[in-house]
Amino acid sequence: MTTVGIIANPAAGKDIRRLVAHGRVVSNQEKANVLRRVFAGLMASGVERILIMPEPARLAEPARADSSVAVVAEYLEMRPADNQEGSTQAARMMVENGVACIVTLGGDGTNRVIAKGSGNVPLVPISTGTNNVFPQMVEGTLAGLAAGAIATGAVSLEKSVVEGKRLDIIVDNRLVDIALVDVAVSHESFVGARAIWDIGTIKEIFLTRAEPASIGLSAIGGRLRPTSMEDPLGLYIRLGGQGGRNPTSVQAPVGPGLISDVLVKEWSILNPTDPRVVTIAQGTIALDGEREIPLLPGQEMVISLNPNGPRVVQVARVHELTAAISAGTAK
């Protein structure tokens, strides 16, 4: 059976950045509406089975009620996911159940934990979070149609899927976590509210991509050296002003409605063959916008750019390919 997975994070788009900046609030009702549109696209494409991660808000219930008898829409046999580990577990179970791709609803942080379990299965990320560099701002119907085209083989993976990058976080020679967009090293010693929003606490930034038209830490890099998802390189930035090799200052949108003048001490290109040791002795490490890992005295932490990140469906490209096939102009 042609099968597509659905992982929606009910907590995405609701953190402290709604208070300290002007981040949008994506309600659970809106997420449920997005899923209804995704389901419509999947069913129109001929997808036979939809596997859903169970979560406390039951976001997929209205979409299931809309489903025709021609498609089987069912929950994974797991406890409702109410933490990050649940999303990773759901992704692994979907891979084991043979999904052709996974549609995700969330931000950078949501997709990070999903990517830890999705393996080589392509993701169709829909932006409903705060920091949205990795997921795409795409209408649900179009995302569902694209996922359906991938699942049914209507378009080739080679032409419609891009392999992203990731950052590996290695502590004392052991891989402890990953990030899809950015790693920020903060001198603050406590995880606290998790979301990182005060640029003054950040000492170092590692980026897989630096896009000028993005929000968050990636935007800082985008003012220094624009770097796309398909570019094989990343960026390293050390903040703090004078005293470095190439000090400068940039103005960047570090959060929704939050524009800051950022003092850069030095920056350089990050190569996959050039792992970097974190320079501070104690603090916290934020992964894709959220503080996750304490850095303790005596530990050695290394950040390494890995070219083998999650595979991502390019929704616009899929629709261009399907249009060319319909018009008889496909090559």
Domains by residue range for the chain, with CATH? 3-164+310-327 (3.40.50.10330), 166-306 (2.60.200.30)
How does pLDDT run along the chain (331 residues), one tens digit per residue?
Answer: 899 999 998 876 545 444 445 566 788 999 999 999 999 999 999 999 999 999 999 999 999 998 877 899 999 999 999 888 999 999 999 999 999 999 999 999 999 999 999 999 999 999 987 658 999 899 999 999 999 999 999 999 999 999 999 999 999 999 999 999 999 999 887 655 456 667 888 999 999 999 999 989 999 999 999 999 999 999 999 999 777 889 999 999 998 888 999 999 999 999 999 999 998 888 999 999 888 898 989 999 999 999 999 999 999 999 999 999 999 887 7
Nearest to 174 by CA among 22, 71, 304, 63: 304
State the pLDDT at residue 144.
Answer: 98
The three-class DSSP label of residue 290 is strand
Q: What six digits make up the tokens of 149? A: 């085209």
State the pLDDT at residue 228.
Answer: 94
Distance of CA 18 to the CA centre of its chain: 19
State the pLDDT at residue 14.
Answer: 47
DSSP string, 186-226: ES----TTSB---GGGEEEEEES-B-TT--SHHHHHHTTS-
Cα–Cα distance, 18 to 14 (Å, whole number): 7
**Angle CA(88)–CA(93)–CA(99) in degrees, nearest 5?**
110
- Determine the residue type at 31: K
Pairing of strands 311-313, 161-163: antiparallel
What's the half-sphere exposure (Cβ side, CA atoms, 13 Å) at 308? 5
In what side-by-side order are the strands of the sheet with 234-239?
A: 248-255, 258-270, 234-239, 202-207, 182-186, 283-287, 290-295
Residue 294: partners with Cβ closer than 8 Å, 6 or more residues away: 189, 190, 191, 283, 284, 285
How distant, in Å, are the alpha carbons of 78, 116, 193, 201 from that of 92? 12, 8, 28, 35
State the pLDDT at residue 244.
Answer: 81
Q: What six digits make up the tokens of 138? A: 């795409």
| Torsion angles phi and psi, residue 266, rounded to 5 | -165, 160
Cα–Cα distance, 59 to 34 (Å, whole number): 9
State the pLDDT at residue 210.
Answer: 96
The three-class DSSP label of residue 147 is helix
Cα–Cα distance, 102 to 92 (Å, whole number): 11
